[in-house]
């Protein structure tokens, strides 16, 4: 969306060059709102090949939206390759901590990434990362956290391989894990409107509306959404691993807050 200043300039009939310059200034101004600790974390050379995916995965936008800050405690659910873990670690710093949680049921399906998490936590550069392994239906943390974050995995919990975890019971456990005022950020693949959880195991997608309904039902307050991972060309009917859409699915990004 264009800034209000650009819209006003257009209304005044200013030439295209002036509009372009105004848009550029607006873009620079917006970029100044990216906290320096987010910039530094994304630029960390230790991330290596992760940077190749930053434009596609909108890492800076996602971190800003998640409101993660130095010194905070983060619980990351099913961390995969550690793409987000490495950035969270750099942002929260030595006074913060990142708990990378692998449900036992999921770990059986993804042994390589679990090993990767263990290696990451053993690296002195990521001394503030701990790996948690526990039953999917028994989420817990060693201490209350400021942020619970899950990307592309909320839809997995109710599936058979995870023991058909009740999403509302799961959301209650997330709620209990958070400090008052803490945030729960959910990113997942969009399923057709009105489909509920019908596609979680087949297409690996979930209807955003059912996620919002479930999370709010346990006491969370909806605190915003981001369209940075929206893809209008995704038909929502293909499996997310289909070559036609893999890596470019339409994804919703929701933020929920636990009241103070």
Q: Which helix (H) or strand (E) holds 212?
A: helix 208-217
| pLDDT digit string (tens) for the chain, length 260 residues | 344 443 333 444 444 444 344 333 333 334 459 999 999 999 999 999 999 999 999 999 999 999 999 999 999 999 999 999 999 999 999 999 999 999 999 999 999 999 999 999 999 999 999 999 999 999 999 999 999 999 999 999 999 999 999 999 999 999 999 999 999 999 999 999 999 999 999 999 999 999 999 999 999 999 999 999 999 999 999 999 999 999 999 999 999 999 99
Together in a domain, 50 and 128: yes
- Our count of domains for the chain comes to 2
Together in a domain, 29 and 93: no
Structure tokens at 81: 């390759």
Together in a domain, 3 and 47: no
What is the span of the domain harbouring residue 13? 1-33
Look up the pTM and report it. 0.87
CATH code, domain with 104: 3.40.50.150
- Of 125, 115, 121, which Cα lies nearest the Cα of 100? 121
Cβ neighbour number for residue 10 with a 10 Å cutoff: 14
Cβ neighbour number for residue 90 with a 10 Å cutoff: 24
135 CA to centre of own chain: 22
- In sequence order, the 6+-apart residues with CB closer than 8 A to the CB of 96 are 70, 71, 72, 73, 74, 128
């Amino acid at each position: 969306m264009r800034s209000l200043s650009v819209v006003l300039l257009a209304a005044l009939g200013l030439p295209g060059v002036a509009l372009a310059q105004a848009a550029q200034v607006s873009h620079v101004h917006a970029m100044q709102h990216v906290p320096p600790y987010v910039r530094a974390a994304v630029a960390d050379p230790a991330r290596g090949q992760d940077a190749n995916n930053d434009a596609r995965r909108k890492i800076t936008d996602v971190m800003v939206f998640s409101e993660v800050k130095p010194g905070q405690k983060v619980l990351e659910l099913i961390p995969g390759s550690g793409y987000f873990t490495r950035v969270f670690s750099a942002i929260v710093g030595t006074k913060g901590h990142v708990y990378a949680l692998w449900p036992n049921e999921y770990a059986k399906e993804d042994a390589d990434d679990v090993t990767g998490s263990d290696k990451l936590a053993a690296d002195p550069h990521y001394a503030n990362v701990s790996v948690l392994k526990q039953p999917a239906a028994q989420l817990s943390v060693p201490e209350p956290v400021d942020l619970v974050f899950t990307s592309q995995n909320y839809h997995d919990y109710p599936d058979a391989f995870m023991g058909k975890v009740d999403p509302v019971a799961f959301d209650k456990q997330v709620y209990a894990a958070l400090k008052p005022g803490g945030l729960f950020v959910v990113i997942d693949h969009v399923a057709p409107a009105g489909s509920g959880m019908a596609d979680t195991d087949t297409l690996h997608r979930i209807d955003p509306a059912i996620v919002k309904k479930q999370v709010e039902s346990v006491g969370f307050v909806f605190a915003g959404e981001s369209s940075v991972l929206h893809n209008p060309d995704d038909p929502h009917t293909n499996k997310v691993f289909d070559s036609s859409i893999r890596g470019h699915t339409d994804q919703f990004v929701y933020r929920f807050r636990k009241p103070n």
